[in-house]
Amino acid sequence: MTLSTSLALAGCGQSADEPASKIVIFNAWMRLPPGGRDISAAYLVIHNNGGADTLLSASSPMADDVQMHIHEVDGEVMRMRHEDSVAIPANSSVDYKPGGRHLMMFGVPDDLRAGDEILLTLVFERGGEISTYFRVKTGL
């Protein structure tokens, strides 16, 4: 490894022996909001082909706010809880799916239609910003 590579890795907060995060996003979609509502949920799979990383935030120009949430069962009640960050382990996937982790989209336009594509940017601690498009779908 060259000195410049070692310095670049050190600048990213990772050691020269630790593999870099290599995040890939796929199966990204957003549920069409019910009529008259400006709230929806978005789902995706985050696959990390490298070293451990952490999802810090999400945003979209098509929403006033995007929050990371998870559904958890408490006794016989399912509750939604806000997550400040989500660990993305090395060489693994984290699924955002109905009934589990999801992105809550607040203040989305009321003229969205099935088939529209929504730009979403995810910010990772190591991988930086990754933008992708979510397809708007009806149902699950």
Q: Three-class SS of residue 6?
A: helix
Question: Residue 104: pLDDT band by 50, 70, 90 thresholds?
Answer: very high
Of the ranges 69-73, 102-106, 117-121, which one carries the lowest mean pLDDT score? Answer: 69-73
Question: Residue 2: pLDDT band by 50, 70, 90 thresholds?
Answer: very low
Burial class (CB in 10 A: 0-12, 13-18, 19+), 58: buried
pTM of the model: 0.81
CATH class, 22-137 region: mainly beta
Query: What's the pLDDT tens digit per position in 41-87?
Result: 999 999 999 999 999 999 999 999 999 999 888 888 888 899 999 99
116 vs 19, higher pLDDT: 116
- Cβ distance 42 to 59 under 8 Å? no
Q: What is the mean pLDDT of residues 15-24?
A: 67
Domain segments of the chain as ranges: 22-137
| Locus of tokens 């050190």 | 10
Question: Residue 17: pLDDT band by 50, 70, 90 thresholds?
Answer: low
User: With pLDDT > 70 as the criterion, what percentage of the chain qualifies?
Assistant: 84
Q: Give the per-residue pLDDT at 34.
A: 85
Question: Residue 113: pLDDT band by 50, 70, 90 thresholds?
Answer: very high
Say how many residues make up the chain. 140
Q: Give the per-residue pLDDT at 45.
A: 98
Average pLDDT along the chain:
86
Token pair belonging to 60: 């979209």
Q: Give the per-residue pLDDT at 117.
A: 95
